[in-house]
């Protein structure tokens, strides 16, 4: 009876400690997170006035890009790209870390079994038993909850980073594909120019044989052919290297790449609304990832601060114990122990204060990093807007210039064939024409790549 009363008193003591700990466990030391105030401009610089909040960044990538081959390439990259797969593995690792950290909030249960035999100048005593164990750290001041908060933010940051990887990948594949189609266009222009120049060389050679032209004209005609052939080799090199790059993005070995629409047939939206700058914070995954890193750092300040306060650890074991392993003496029955340990920090030579100072400094640095990242994002959008607008203007001008030089080149050849002018005029106009054709193709590519840059800067591509 006395033993039973003693056990009851011990149980009441442990219950009292648990109740008090549960009441105190409602508080969490350390700062609660609040998003830093970021002064956002009313609209992006170079943005066209708009009456609604729609943004190009809200469009899904397969709705923006109408080239079916490009869609297939992007989808293949999302399925097989190594960076995307590694980002997914980082999320799995963060999920495991989050579960491991969160487990500290709950009691831990286990089981033990053991046996021993002791004898020294006395009768040998054998003991054995099977026990259940339980342990629990009472989260009085929120240390474990703050650590869980930080782990959750790390997980969300990795998820946002994966979206940012997808966004970057979509932009890289689209931009590389447009560059590939631009090389195709340039190569077509150069090959056609080589044919024209070879015909011109044959004409000049026959005129020189008839005494109408000079060897200088022949040499100039050869120069035109040879320079175009050199340009063709360089373009073919760049085209194959671009194909290799696209295959790397698709997670494939180097090889040829399918083709779809020409540059001039690529879809461009009639309007490119930028939307509100304040909405960019929620749309761009890199900004959300930066904020989650800040949330994690802020929570770790709470973890470091909670280390200054006491912690309580409760442990309990209970089970069956016997001293009759050899059948000599029969003493067995239920056995249990209950313990409560209070860890009260007194002196640690500055370890806790050093950790707290470090955690605050990391948090404050990430506040600045978050603000800088947002300002950089505003600049990205403004640069992309002005780039897209000016590239379209440049393309319109180069289209007119290329048309004019085509006419001039045709006229110069007619004048030379009629003996009105020297071959030098043909040489100059032909060089200018080919340069204008190539620059037009490059400008058409620049319009499309600047559209991709604007789309990415506005947070599109990961949806």
pLDDT digits (tens, 9 = 90+) for 52-66: 778 899 999 999 999
CA nearest to 457, candidates 377, 348, 395: 377
CA 131 – CA 315 distance, rounded (Å): 13
CB neighbour class for 42 (10 Å; exposed up to 12, middle 13-18, buried from 19): exposed
- pLDDT at 198 exceeding the cut of 90: no
pLDDT band at residue 1 under the 50/70/90 scheme:
very low
In this structure, what DSSP letter does residue 270 have?
S
Judged against a pLDDT cut of 50, whether residue 3 lies above it is answered with no
Q: Give the model confidence (pLDDT) of 405-432 as tens digits.
A: 888 888 888 887 777 777 777 777 878 8
- Give the per-residue pLDDT at 2: 41
Cα–Cα dist 203/217, whole Å = 10
* Angle between helix 143-209 and helix 285-306 axes, rounded to 10 deg: 150
- % pLDDT > 70, the chain: 90
Strand order in the sheet with 108-118: 108-118, 125-138, 311-322, 332-343
- Could you tell me if residue 243 is inside a domain? yes
What is the helix (H) or strand (E) element at residue 191, kind and residue range?
Answer: helix 143-209
pLDDT (0 to 100) of residue 327: 46
Instruction: Tell me if 332 is assigned to some domain.
Output: no
Q: Which domain holds residue 382?
A: 38-105+142-308+350-457
pLDDT of 378 > 90? The answer is yes
Distances (CA, A) of 268 to 54, 263, 300: 17, 11, 47
**135 SS3 class:** strand
pLDDT of 17 over the 70 cut: no
Cα 110 to its chain centre, rounded Å, is 41
pLDDT tens digits for 335-356? 778 888 888 888 889 999 999 9
Nearest to 309, CA basis, from 137, 108, 98, 134: 137
Residue 49: inside a domain, yes or no?
Answer: yes
Report which DSSP code applies to 251.
Answer: T
459 torsion bin: left (phi>0), alpha (psi -120 to 50), beta (else): left
Q: Give dist(CA 19, CA 404) in Å, integer.
A: 89
Residue 57, in any domain of the structure = yes
b/e map 105-138, b = 16+ CB within 10 Å: eeeeeeeeeeeeeeeeeeeeebbbbebeeeebbb
Q: What is the pLDDT of residue 69?
A: 96
Whether the CB-CB separation of 345 and 310 falls below 8 Å is answered with yes
Domains in the chain, number: 1
**Inter-axis angle of helices 82-102 and 68-80, to 10 degrees?**
40
Residue 345 lies in a domain: no
Residue 194 confidence (pLDDT) above 80 = yes
Cα–Cα distances (Å) from 332 to 110, 125, 200, in that order, read 22, 13, 113
Answer whether residue 16 shows pLDDT above 50.
no
pLDDT of residue 166 exceeding 90: yes
Please report whether residue 293 resides in a domain: yes
CATH of the domain at 380: 1.20.1600.10
Residue position matching structure tokens 């050869």: 222
Nearest to 307, CA basis, from 135, 137, 153: 137
Contact 109, 133 (CB under 8 A): yes
Within a domain: 357: yes
* Cβ–Cβ < 8 Å for 141, 28: yes
What are residue 115's phi and psi, to 5 degrees? -150, 150
In a domain, 299, yes or no: yes
Tell me the DSSP string of 294-357: HHHHHHHHHHHHHTTS-EEEEEEEEEEEES-TTSSS--EEEEEEEEEEEE-----TTHHHHHHH
Residue pair 143/428 in contact (Cβ under 8 Å)? The answer is no
């Amino acid at each position: 009876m006395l033993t039973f009363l003693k056990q009851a008193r011990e149980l009441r003591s442990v219950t009292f400690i648990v109740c008090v700990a549960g009441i105190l466990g409602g508080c969490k030391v350390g700062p609660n997170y609040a998003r830093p105030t970021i002064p956002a401009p009313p609209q992006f610089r170079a943005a066209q006035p708009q009456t609604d909040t729609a943004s190009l960044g809200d469009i899904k990538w397969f709705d923006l890009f109408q080239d079916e081959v490009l869609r297939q390439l992007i989808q293949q990259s999302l399925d097989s790209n190594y960076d995307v797969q590694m980002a997914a593995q980082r999320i799995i690792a963060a999920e495991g870390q989050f579960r491991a950290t969160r487990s500290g909030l709950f009691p831990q249960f286990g089981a033990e079994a053991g046996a021993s035999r002791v004898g020294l100048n006395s009768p040998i005593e054998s003991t054995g038993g099977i026990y259940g164990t339980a342990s629990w750290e009472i989260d009085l001041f929120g240390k474990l909850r703050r650590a869980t908060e930080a782990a959750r933010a790390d997980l969300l940051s990795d998820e946002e980073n994966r979206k940012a990887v997808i966004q970057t990948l979509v932009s890289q594949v689209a931009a590389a594909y447009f560059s590939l189609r631009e090389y195709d266009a340039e190569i077509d222009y150069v090959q056609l120019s080589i044919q024209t120049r070879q015909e011109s060389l044959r004409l000049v050679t026959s005129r020189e044989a008839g005494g109408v032209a000079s060897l200088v004209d022949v040499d100039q005609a050869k120069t035109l052919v040879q320079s175009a052939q050199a340009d063709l080799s360089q373009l073919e090199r760049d085209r194959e290297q671009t194909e290799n790059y696209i295959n790397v993005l698709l997670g494939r070995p180097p090889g040829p790449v399918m083709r779809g629409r020409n540059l001039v047939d690529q879809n461009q939206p009639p309007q490119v609304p930028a939307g509100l700058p304040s909405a960019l914070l929620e749309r761009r995954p890199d900004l959300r990832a930066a904020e989650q890193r800040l949330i994690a750092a802020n929570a770790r300040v709470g973890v470091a601060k909670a280390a200054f306060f006491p912690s309580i650890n409760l442990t309990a074991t209970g089970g069956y114990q016997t001293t009759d392993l050899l059948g000599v003496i029969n003493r067995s029955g239920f056995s249990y122990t209950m313990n409560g340990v209070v860890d009260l920090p007194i002196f640690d030579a500055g370890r806790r204060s050093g950790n707290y100072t470090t955690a605050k400094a990391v948090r404050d640095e990430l506040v600045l990093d978050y603000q800088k990242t947002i300002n950089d994002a505003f600049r990205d959008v403004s640069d992309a807007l002005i780039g897209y607008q000016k590239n379209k203007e440049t393309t319109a001008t180069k289209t007119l210039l290329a048309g004019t030089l085509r006419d001039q080149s045709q006229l110069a050849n007619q004048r030379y064939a009629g003996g009105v002018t020297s071959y030098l005029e043909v040489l100059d106009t032909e060089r200018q024409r080919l340069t204008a054709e190539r620059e037009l193709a490059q400008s058409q590519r620049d319009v499309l790549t600047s559209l991709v840059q604007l789309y990415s800067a506005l947070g599109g591509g990961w949806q």
